[in-house]
Amino acid sequence: MTEEHRLPAEGSPSAGEDGSAREAARPDGSAAGAVQPAIGKRALSRRSFLGTALGGAAALLAACGGSDPTPSPLNTPSPLATPTPGQPRSPLPSPSGYRRYFPVVANDGVPGNTMAQPTPTPEPTLTPTPTKTPTPEPPTPTPTPQATPFPPGPPSKLGIFVGRNDPVLFDILKTKAVTVVKTLELDQNFVGQIKRTSPNTKVIGRVPLEQVNLATLDPLPAAQQFVNQLLTYADDPGRRPYFDGWESYNEPVAGNAEEMKRYADFEAERTRLLGDRGIRSVIGNFGTGQPPLDMWQHFLPAVQAAQQYDGWLGLHEYSAPTIYYLSTAENRGRYPGATPQDSGWLTLRYRKVYNEILIPAGLQIPLVMTELGVDGLVQERPGPPDARGWKDFQGYWAEHGYGLWGPGAYIEQLVWYDDAMRQNDYVIGSAIFALAATAGWESYDIHGPSAMVLAQYLSVHAPA
């Protein structure tokens, strides 16, 4: 608040109209505080004394009767000044307004002769103690389905494409039934441990390369350049004892006969250059469904060089949504079985190549499926359109009668392929893609329950 808005202090005396406090008048009309004049002394007779006494008595009686008191003749001290009655400061009514004596006080809205009765405090309602509900037991976790063990059988030709050093690989290798391991992990200690764990397993290596452009490839210089690069690994004393063969380019695509001839010349030349050093080549390594059958005749020079230098042919075979798709076993259900007459345009395509081209040409060289599996990148197929690796097809398999448990259903399909490979002596084996897959290929990875199912199968399909 500012100075102009300050209010008088609560309880301060009221000022008169002239600004001074009013003084109360005495009952005789004199100003308060005036001194009465003293009475002079004189001698009194008995009669005078009695008269004076009687007069005083009469005056006393008159005073008691309500008349104005007569000033005492005695020389007494002047009474204290009393304030002039003004407006009462108390908000209480004047005594004449009271109809009852204290302590009875009228309450707002209640007659004066009525005492407000206190409202009794209600008794609190007791809240019943809740009955203790026992905590329900957590639901029993759904157990992992147990695969029905595979029965014993002839030696398997299944192998593994491994992306990196992983202990699960060595658990599987302990079965001594893994025919092939393909890897881009070229560490000599890693591949050395593979051979020590499973001496009969064939190890195939590949160095990372840019995709080859066959339209501009100059075959012979390119072959020499590739060999120079590869010898850093393939001819290294720490690695050479452990690798059984080396690939070159991964999944080359020849758009015409001329491009296929260039690639054949490249593969033939690098096979000779490496073969002269005692290093085996794995030629081809075409993608699934490649090349068209009528293009194989242009690749035969490379097959002839491989036959001369103890080389192998490499192919990739995938299909989807099942491994049977576009094969003669496609419509035979969950357990189609394999016969020597079965073939396909994706999986078992190798039989068309050998039966129609290589065997008639006398070029039945050893064959390795350097990649194998279910791959959603296959075009014009049924199933979920965005699916890639086998993990993406588990729901499809369950809906279409190929098994409710994906890991087991996948190994069953690979076992079918294994049965077919055993029917062809020229097949060394196949590398399932993949174990310990690299980034971007996780949906293809068999790490986990599927690896355990595979290990059980291999344990009862090992060489004697």
- Tokens of residue 35, six digits: 């001194």
* 166 occurs within a structural domain: yes
Parallel, antiparallel or unpaired: strands 202-205 and 180-183 = parallel
The DSSP element (H or E) to which 286 belongs, if any, is strand 282-286
- Tokens of residue 399, six digits: 């809906």
d(CA 25, CA 28): 8
For residue 430, the cross-strand partners are: 158, 369
Surface-to-core class of residue 459, CB atoms within 10 Å of its CB (0-12 exposed, 13-18 middle, 19+ buried): middle
pLDDT for the residue numbered 135: 67
C-alpha count within 13 angstroms, C-beta hemisphere, residue 337: 4
Q: Could you list the residue range(s) of the whole structural domain that residue 288 is in?
A: 158-459
* 47 occurs within a structural domain: no
Handedness of CA 449, 451, 455, 457 (dihedral sign): positive
Torsion (CA) 290, 293, 295, 298 in degrees, nearest 10: 110
d(CA 254, CA 290): 9
pLDDT for the residue numbered 139: 74
* 331 occurs within a structural domain: yes
* 326 occurs within a structural domain: yes
Query: pLDDT tens track of the chain, all 464 residues?
Result: 443 333 333 443 333 333 333 333 333 333 333 333 333 333 444 334 334 443 443 443 344 444 444 444 434 444 444 444 444 444 444 444 444 444 444 444 444 444 455 555 556 566 666 566 666 676 776 665 667 899 999 999 999 999 999 999 999 999 999 999 999 999 999 999 999 999 999 999 999 999 999 999 999 999 999 999 999 999 999 999 999 999 999 999 999 999 999 999 999 999 999 999 999 999 999 999 999 999 999 999 999 999 999 999 999 999 999 999 999 999 999 999 999 999 999 999 999 999 999 999 999 999 999 999 999 999 999 999 999 999 999 999 999 999 999 999 999 999 999 999 999 999 999 999 999 999 999 999 999 999 999 999 999 999 98
Residues 6+ apart with CB under 8 A from 161: 181, 182, 183, 370, 371, 431, 432, 433, 434, 435
Q: What is the mean pLDDT of the chain?
A: 82
* 292 occurs within a structural domain: yes
d(CA 83, CA 194): 123
Collapse the DSSP code of 135 into the 3-class scheme (helix H, G, I; strand E, B; otherwise coil) and give the result. coil
Q: Domain holding 347: CATH number?
A: 3.20.20.80
Handedness of CA 464, 316, 454, 331 (dihedral sign): negative
CB-CB contact of 325 with 378 (8 Å):
yes
Sheet of 180-183, strands arranged across: 245-246, 202-205, 180-183, 158-162, 427-435, 367-374, 312-319, 282-286
d(CA 266, CA 263): 5
* 150 occurs within a structural domain: no
- Tokens of residue 227, six digits: 């060999």
* 93 occurs within a structural domain: no
d(CA 226, CA 203): 20
- Rama region for 176: left / alpha / beta (φ>0; ψ in -120 to 50; rest): left
| pTM score, whole prediction | 0.71
Q: Which amino acid does the sequence have at 244?
A: D
Q: How many domains does the chain have?
A: 1
CB-CB contact of 419 with 348 (8 Å):
no
User: Which alpha helices (H) appear in 14-80, and where do they start and end?
Assistant: 46-64
- Which residue's entry shows tokens 């699934």? 288
pLDDT for the residue numbered 50: 37
Closest by CA to 27, choosing from 78, 73, 75, is: 78
Residues 6+ apart with CB under 8 A from 230: 207, 246, 274
pLDDT for the residue numbered 464: 87
Q: Both ends of the chain: CA-CA distance in Å?
A: 108
- Tokens of residue 167, six digits: 């202990």
CB-CB contact of 206 with 229 (8 Å):
no
* 201 occurs within a structural domain: yes
